[in-house]
């Protein structure tokens, strides 16, 4: 995150955490004989395909949950909405959730979100270069690298990839750009590398550009995002949280084993064409949360200056 976004996110977390108990949007409570009306905040990207697919397959409705999916710009917008009760559940990248926990936000993960493929040469997010002379992450020293947000999971990953290759991450300059804008800036020479996720990764590689690092280089099991709820929701309706988690886990398992249906579902909530969807590298969607990978990200967030001290990871995980 940029400093401005980081400050705003922190303010929102603290404000909504304080106001949550008195908010008009109270946590959902179950009514006998009627399905629970549940809103989940998500981002319209490949990562959340399992929840859309799970809703389509009836995994939530068979557990008496009528699920409404509402899109937001990112995890920094979703977290405050979950705390306030506007959403009962949300999806956010791990780094944003760790940041929230560092501010004592009463949030807790309920299900896994999305993970690296584990294959550095075939992952759903990675560093792309155009210049054939740049062949390794170490060579990004003194170069400009595009990231979708400063001080977040992307530039943290780039720094770690560079360091593992023997380079100095402090000598890499980061430029904040939206994923859709990165390719044009790389082509124009305004940046020398970009870190993009699908479908932008496939589009960049189709130009003949190359990847020199990926999420898998940070950790083969890197957990990029999680589904979460508020502590208030857990205390008010633990049965709903249990049923949502069960439905989400079934959705993740199904998505992992039905890639063609994932690609089809992706077309229902994004503008990605069928031709592009066919060539996308899909991430992994394990139902189990990899605690070691979460701890590693927390350590890296401290190492690279996003957090001053490591938050209590156990308090975030189920």
Q: What is the pLDDT of residue 172?
A: 97
Q: What is the pLDDT of residue 32?
A: 63
User: How does pLDDT run across 246-294, given as a tens digit for each residue?
Assistant: 999 999 999 999 999 999 999 999 888 999 999 999 999 999 999 999 9
Q: What is the pLDDT of residue 180?
A: 86
- Report the C-alpha gap between 201 and 205 in whole angstroms: 6
Question: What would the two tokens of residue 312 be?
Answer: 């209590």
User: How does pLDDT run across 112-134, given as a tens digit for each residue?
Assistant: 999 999 999 999 999 999 999 99
Q: How confident is the model at residue 20 (pLDDT cuts 50, 70, 90)?
A: very low
- Report the C-alpha gap between 200 and 118 in whole angstroms: 19
Q: What is the pLDDT of residue 15?
A: 44
- Percentage of the chain lying above the pLDDT 90 cut: 73
- What is the average pLDDT value for the chain, to the nearest integer? 89
Question: What would the two tokens of residue 44 be?
Answer: 């319209």
Q: What is the pLDDT of residue 2?
A: 43
- Report the C-alpha gap between 119 and 124 in whole angstroms: 10
Residue 37 has pLDDT above 50, yes or no: yes
User: Which residue carries 């390794």 as its tokens?
Assistant: 136
pTM of the model: 0.85
Cα distances (angstroms) measured from residue 47 to each of 51, 74, 115, 269, 278 = 9, 12, 9, 12, 16
User: How does pLDDT run across 133-184, given as a tens digit for each residue?
Assistant: 999 999 999 999 999 878 788 999 999 999 999 999 999 999 999 888 999 9
Question: What would the two tokens of residue 306 be?
Answer: 């996003």
Residue 30 has pLDDT above 70, yes or no: no
- Report the C-alpha gap between 287 and 88 in whole angstroms: 20
For the chain, the distance separating the N- and C-terminal CA atoms, rounded to the nearest angstrom, is 26
The phi and psi torsions of 167 (rounded to 5 degrees) equal -95, 175
């Amino acid at each position: 995150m940029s400093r401005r976004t980081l400050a705003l996110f922190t303010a929102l977390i603290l404000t909504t955490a304080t106001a949550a108990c008195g908010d008009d949007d109270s946590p959902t409570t179950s009514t006998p004989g009627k399905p629970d009306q549940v809103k989940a905040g998500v981002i319209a990207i490949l990562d959340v395909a399992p929840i859309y697919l799970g809703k389509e397959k009836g995994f939530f409705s068979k557990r008496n949950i009528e699920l409404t999916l509402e899109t937001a710009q990112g995890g920094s917008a979703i977290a405050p909405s979950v705390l306030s009760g506007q959403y009962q559940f949300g999806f956010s990248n791990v780094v944003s959730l760790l940041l929230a926990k560092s501010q004592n936000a009463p949030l807790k993960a309920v299900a896994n979100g999305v993970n690296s493929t584990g294959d550095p040469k075939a992952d759903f997010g990675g560093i792309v270069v155009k210049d054939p002379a740049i062949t390794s992450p170490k060579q990004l020293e003194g170069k400009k690298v595009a990231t979708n947000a400063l001080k977040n999971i992307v530039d943290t990953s780039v720094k770690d990839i560079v360091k593992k290759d023997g380079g100095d991450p402090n000598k890499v300059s980061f430029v904040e750009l939206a994923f859709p804008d990165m390719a044009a800036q790389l082509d124009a020479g305004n940046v020398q590398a970009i870190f993009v996720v699908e479908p932008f990764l496939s589009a960049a590689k189709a130009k003949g550009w190359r990847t020199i690092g990926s999420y898998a280089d940070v950790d083969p099991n890197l957990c990029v995002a999680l589904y979460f709820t508020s502590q208030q929701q857990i205390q008010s309706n633990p049965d709903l949280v249990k049923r949502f988690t069960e439905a989400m886990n079934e959705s993740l398992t199904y998505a992992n084993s039905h890639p063609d249906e994932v690609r089809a579902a992706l077309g229902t909530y994004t503008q990605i064409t069928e031709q592009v969807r066919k060539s996308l590298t899909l991430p992994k969607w394990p139902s189990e949360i990899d605690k070691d990978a979460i701890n590693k990200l927390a350590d890296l967030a401290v190492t690279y200056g996003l957090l001053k001290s490591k938050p209590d990871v156990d308090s975030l995980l189920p």
